[in-house]
Chains A and B, each alone.
Chain A
Amino acid sequence: MNPDPLAILLQTLLLLLLAPLVSGIIKNWKAKLQNRRGPRPWQVYLDLAKFLRKDMVISEHASWIFSFAPYVLFTSALLAGLMVPTLATPAPLSLFGGALALIGLLALGRFFLALGGLDPASAFGGMGSSRDMTLSAIAEPALMLAIFTVAITAGSTDLSQICRSTQSATWRLLNPAHVLAFAAMFVVLLAETGRIPVDNPATHLELTMVHEAMLLEYSGRFLALMEWGASIKQLVLMTLLANVFVPVGLAVSEAGPGALALSLLAYLAKLLALAAAVVLVETTNAKLRLFRVPDLLSAAFVLATLALLSTFLFQ
């Protein structure tokens, strides 16, 4: 049960390398669906490399928090990712925390991101921080209830344990509790990763922006950390959806390289399917007004409550 350094290293590399690609694919597919050519899927890597090489400008009003926030955001998202099984159960750091620690770590990153937005004394940053903290707070009960639903079925908050229990023989793709909880989590995924209809990741300097507003004063290598951290967070949440609800192909840690390769293929297929779903939602919907977003999120909460109720009806 002790953490295996090799597994940690491999999963860290997987998360680091895969996260920008997923963001790039979503951007590319979205452009295709809107009859544009769009950036190549690997453009995000090039962007990150460029940000890393560039000089950095730091606001004269900012304090040490501004420089501290990117590190916290990046490492906390990465650590959260190490608690989710990607290719095999158990996840490398299952011992250090499960679903609750994952939610906590994402909250830690968000806390510092919001402080980083407030620090340079610009009105935009404060606006982004205020909106981001509000929306994530409203999304939190739905997320927690959806996690509670699967955790109750598994009798554990350990994500590896949850995956293993859904993997067992009694697992059905269309178990109503899981379908409803999945739907709730999907809405939360849209909100947490700043996707349309909650936020528009393609806007800069518009009064509707949420996540981008907080990054406005970041440049150079700090911006790279922030962007990379955000894409890792997106990957972590997508992995959570993919492996907890559809544990198809997930290997066990003792499996040989062949099983792991098969598991990698299944994992990528699931991620691409989720990315396609996100792209579809983003192109077919308009951005909601800020004060309509709580309606969407409370719908997610209702879905999660129904999921919970159905664990009790169909067990």
Chain B
Amino acid sequence: MTDFPLSLLGVALWAYLAGAAGALVFQRFEKLANGFGFGMAAAGGLCGLVSCGAALASGMPVASRSIELFPALIPLVRFAIRADALGCFFGLIVSLLAVPLSVYSLGYARSYFGRRNVGVLAALFNLLLLSITLVFLADHVFFFLIAWELMALSASILVCFEHEQDESRGGAVLFFVMSHIGTAALILGFLLLFQASGSYAFTDFHALGAKLSASRRGGVFLLFLFGFGIKAGLVPLHIWLPAAHPVAPSNVSALMSGVLIKTGVYGLIRVCFDFLGAPPQWWGVAVLGLGTVSAVLGVLFALMEHDLKRLLAYHSIENIGIILIGLGAALMLLHSSHPMLASLALIAGLYHTLNHACFKALLFLGAGAVLHATHTRNMEEMGGLAKRMQWTSAFFLLGAAAISALPPLNGFVSEWFTYQSLLQGFGSTPSLIRLMFPLSGAMLALTSALAAACFVKAFGITFLAQPRSAHAREAREASLTMLLGQGLLVAVCVVLGLFPGILLKLLDPLTHQLIGERLSQRLSLAGGLVLSSGAAQGGTVSTLGIVLMLVALLAVPIVLWALFARGARTRIAPTWDCGLRGLTPHMQYTATGFSKPLRMIFKALFRPRREVQREYDLSPYFATTLRFESHVEEVFQTRVYRPLKWLVLRFSRRSRALQAGSIQAYLIYIFLTLLALLLFAL
């Protein structure tokens, strides 16, 4: 590594490795392990941030070479990395999160002191960061797969860090199994690519699609869509995500939802745009369709949750859907040879990838702080935390507004680009399939409105009104490092929202590499403060302008106060209780109650069941005891995965007969296999 920005990337990788090793070595001294492990992770993130940022900002004029990290000791495997624009952008995301997450972890891991091995937590955290970074940079099939497996392993161990709970172990196993089913598909896909290129280097896979027959290209695409779709949490392959993300320690949940699932997005972009290229129409249609379905179903399932972290995990599915809407539109537009529009759609998807990483990490950190203070993930036992945890609640509110795509924050900017690309995509082809663009736009509108409803619930029930339990009543503000970690992410969200010109410039080399267009000049007016849709008079938006105007319009109420309300006083008094003896926390709306209208409207999907048992003495209107139970069905769990699991178990029970334990039988198997292979070879 000779050139400056990339050599710093090497430093980042070594820092993660040193952090992992050091944390393990110092595991007996938990304070030292904590400080050293997460300190090195933060330092590595900082190095990665500077190097990837500088590389992207330089415009990456030359095609980057691949570099051997260390000599190959195993045949066929080369430990080569290549920091091209795509890799650098995703490297930027992981580094950008590494810093605030590590700072937060410094405080968060303290709650494990004396109870659990913090050294192991820090070491695995570093390993996860290392492996994710390597996944984005690897330039060789086997190296990629090694990093991919290291990532799955370290993540699944982290998921069951609190292994006494059945939930954690179950989540980890499910993640592990699903992840490996996906890896199997990836290996098959890579082998098919190898057959055509005769090499395992990613560099040699570039534009390989032209050499493959149409059916084989389709097969490769489907294999990768399945493999990477599992990691991304695409519906219906999402089943592991709500099981694994919430049970992990919150800093790890943030890393998983923020970056780990983005490795699936990275893989899809790498395969579709770099390896295969020239997509047929059905790829775009498939990705756009799956993205739309994931977005809507993800948010609908999120609405039914009252476990704060599970709710956030379902929102990751929704946001992956939104990202894939951008990617799918880009593929469709590339097919109809509109490179400019395809770049716009790709930018929308990538912008949302980064945005989601930031606000989802922020929300998970907020949820972690709440969990830390109240010892529960159940929203029905929270409430009133806005008064007790002022900073955390303000940070969470900002994250909630960003994920609900409210102007002027970053979620709004990326969804604005998505809408623009869908709108302009409608004119790109005369065929009937173009109806997909506006319909997907309408579903995106439904998704963001439902997301807003969901976050009104999440924020309102958790942080507002009266505390619903003793734990919530005694909640205290999180420690300084935990707040600092959240504050850094808040700053990133605000900057990405108000100054989108910065990121557009960094995305230039990426769209240039993949599609051959540089759009930042066309998309930003007035030095990046006003965004344009790229078309002449196609529409503009300025988030900074919106903020300034909102502040300026505050003049109206101020003038009104001065004119009319001079003598008016403000009194603090109890909420009107309709003549009862005071309001109790039980009278407030609950999370379950809040989502009831939607549960009824979409009852075909949720199949809600409820059970009410009531005991009374005189009249049924004056119950002495009341038991209420309400369930919704996770359709994919009950309709797809349960029958599938049952089939697999039945098959394995049957095939147990083969494994009788007698050597003679095994010898016959070997003989028959050999015979079959010989016949096959003939």
Q: Is A198 an interface residue (CB 8 A)?
A: no
Q: Which residues of B contact A97 (CB under 8 A)?
A: 407, 540-542, 545-546
Q: Is A264 an interface residue (CB 8 A)?
A: no
Q: Which residues of B contact A98 (CB under 8 A)?
A: 539-541
* 16 chain-A/chain-B pairs, Cβ below 8 angstroms: A63-B393, A76-B550, A101-B416, A104-B406, A108-B406, A114-B460, A121-B583, A129-B460, A130-B594, A137-B446, A155-B537, A156-B535, A156-B537, A221-B557, A301-B442, A304-B442
Q: Which residues of A contact B585 (CB under 8 A)?
A: 121
B366 CB to nearest chain A CB (Å)? 15
Q: Which residues of B contact A62 (CB under 8 A)?
A: 464
Q: Which residues of A contact B554 (CB under 8 A)?
A: 71, 75
Interface string of B416-435 (1 = CB under 8 A from A): 10011001001100000001
Q: Is B588 an interface residue (CB 8 A)?
A: yes
Q: Which residues of A contact B444 (CB under 8 A)?
A: 144
Q: Is B67 an interface residue (CB 8 A)?
A: no
Q: Is the CB of A126 within 8 A of B588?
A: yes
Q: Is A167 an interface residue (CB 8 A)?
A: no
Q: Which residues of A contact B541 (CB under 8 A)?
A: 96-98, 100-101
Q: Which residues of B contact A157 (CB under 8 A)?
A: 419-420, 423, 533, 538-539
Q: Is the CB of A148 within 8 A of B465?
A: no
Q: Cα distance A82–B448 when bound, in Å?
A: 23
Q: Which residues of B contact A120 (CB under 8 A)?
A: 465, 575
A101 CB contact (under 8 Å) in B407, B553, B556, B564: B407
Once A100-B419, A111-B452, A123-B588 are accepted as A-B contacts, the answer to whether A134 and B597 lie under 8 Å apart by CB is yes
Q: Is the CB of B407 within 8 A of A118?
A: no
Quick one: which of B551-585 are within 8 Å of A by CB?
A: 553-554, 556-557, 560-561, 563-565, 567-577, 583, 585
Given A3-B545, A156-B533, A221-B561, 7 new contacts (CB under 8 A): A52-B563, A53-B567, A63-B464, A95-B542, A97-B545, A105-B407, A118-B589
B438 CB contact (under 8 Å) in A100, A129, A148, A225: A148
Interface string of A122-163 (1 = CB under 8 A from B): 110111011101111111111111001101100111100100
Q: Which residues of B contact A301 (CB under 8 A)?
A: 442
Q: Is B74 an interface residue (CB 8 A)?
A: no
Q: Is A241 an interface residue (CB 8 A)?
A: no
Q: Cα distance A152–B445 when bound, in Å?
A: 16
Q: Is the CB of B438 within 8 A of A152?
A: yes
Q: Is B152 an interface residue (CB 8 A)?
A: no
Q: Which residues of A contact B571 (CB under 8 A)?
A: 55-58
Interface string of A26-59 (1 = CB under 8 A from B): 0000000000000000000000010011111111
B586 CB to nearest chain A CB (Å)? 10
Once A104-B407, A152-B423, A220-B568 are accepted as A-B contacts, the answer to whether A134 and B598 lie under 8 Å apart by CB is yes
Residue of B at shortest CB range from A54? Answer: B568
Q: Is the CB of A145 within 8 A of B438?
A: yes
A61 CB contact (under 8 Å) in B384, B446, B537, B600: B384
Interface string of B448-459 (1 = CB under 8 A from A): 111011011101
Q: Cα distance A140–B575 when bound, in Å?
A: 32
Q: Cα distance A135–B597 when bound, in Å?
A: 9
Quick one: which of A156-177 are within 8 Å of B by CB?
A: 156-158, 161
Q: Is B208 an interface residue (CB 8 A)?
A: no
Q: Which residues of B contact A64 (CB under 8 A)?
A: 386
Chain B residues within 8 Å of A, Cβ to Cβ: 384, 386-387, 393, 397, 401, 404-407, 412, 416, 419-420, 423, 426-427, 435, 438-439, 441-446, 448-450, 452-453, 455-457, 459-461, 463-466, 530, 533, 535, 537-542, 545-546, 549-550, 553-554, 556-557, 560-561, 563-565, 567-577, 583, 585, 587-589, 593-598, 600-601
Once A65-B386, A217-B575 are accepted as A-B contacts, the answer to whether A119 and B445 lie under 8 Å apart by CB is no
B549 CB contact (under 8 Å) in A55, A58, A63, A82: A82
Q: Is A74 an interface residue (CB 8 A)?
A: yes
Q: Is the CB of B564 within 8 A of A53?
A: yes
B153 CB to nearest chain A CB (Å)? 40
Q: Is the CB of B537 within 8 A of A158?
A: yes
Q: Which residues of A contact B463 (CB under 8 A)?
A: 63
Once A122-B576, A158-B537 are accepted as A-B contacts, the answer to whether A144 and B553 lie under 8 Å apart by CB is no
Q: Is the CB of A78 within 8 A of B556?
A: yes
Q: Is the CB of B568 within 8 A of A53?
A: yes
Q: Is A110 an interface residue (CB 8 A)?
A: yes
Q: Is the CB of B464 within 8 A of A144?
A: no
Q: Which residues of A contact B565 (CB under 8 A)?
A: 52-53, 220-221
Q: Which residues of A contact B537 (CB under 8 A)?
A: 155-156, 158, 161
Q: Is A94 an interface residue (CB 8 A)?
A: yes
Q: Is A79 an interface residue (CB 8 A)?
A: yes
B541 CB to nearest chain A CB (Å)? 4
B405 CB contact (under 8 Å) in A61, A63, A71, A104: A104
Q: Is the CB of B594 within 8 A of A95?
A: no
Once A52-B560, A118-B461, A137-B453 are accepted as A-B contacts, the answer to whether A290 and B597 lie under 8 Å apart by CB is yes
Q: Is the CB of A130 within 8 A of B595?
A: yes
Q: Cα distance A143–B442 when bound, in Å?
A: 8
Residue of A at shortest CB range from B450? Answer: A137
Once A95-B530, A127-B589 are accepted as A-B contacts, the answer to whether A148 and B538 lie under 8 Å apart by CB is no
B545 CB contact (under 8 Å) in A52, A58, A65, A96: A96
Q: Cα distance A264–B594 when bound, in Å?
A: 43
Q: Is the CB of A111 within 8 A of B464?
A: no
B466 CB contact (under 8 Å) in A103, A121, A131, A151: A121
Q: Cα distance A100–B577 when bound, in Å?
A: 40
Residue of B at shortest CB range from A78? Answer: B553
Residue of B at shortest CB range from A75? Answer: B553
A100 CB contact (under 8 Å) in B416, B442, B446, B449: B416
Q: Which residues of A contact B568 (CB under 8 A)?
A: 52-56, 220-221
Q: Cα distance A305–B436 when bound, in Å?
A: 11
Q: Is the CB of A94 within 8 A of B445?
A: no
Q: Which residues of B contact A111 (CB under 8 A)?
A: 401, 404, 406, 452, 455-456
Q: Which residues of B contact A94 (CB under 8 A)?
A: 540
Q: Cα distance A57–B554 when bound, in Å?
A: 22
A149 CB to nearest chain B CB (Å)? 8
Q: Is A242 an interface residue (CB 8 A)?
A: no
Once A105-B407, A118-B465 are accepted as A-B contacts, the answer to whether A133 and B546 lie under 8 Å apart by CB is no
Q: Is A93 an interface residue (CB 8 A)?
A: yes
Residue of A at shortest CB range from B564? Answer: A52
A312 CB to nearest chain B CB (Å)? 8
Q: Cα distance A119–B561 when bound, in Å?
A: 24
Q: Is A288 an interface residue (CB 8 A)?
A: no
A146 CB to nearest chain B CB (Å)? 9
Q: Cα distance A71–B561 when bound, in Å?
A: 12
B283 CB to nearest chain A CB (Å)? 24
Once A100-B419, A118-B456 are accepted as A-B contacts, the answer to whether A59 and B545 lie under 8 Å apart by CB is no
B572 CB contact (under 8 Å) in A58, A104, A143, A225: A58
Q: Is the CB of A107 within 8 A of B575?
A: no
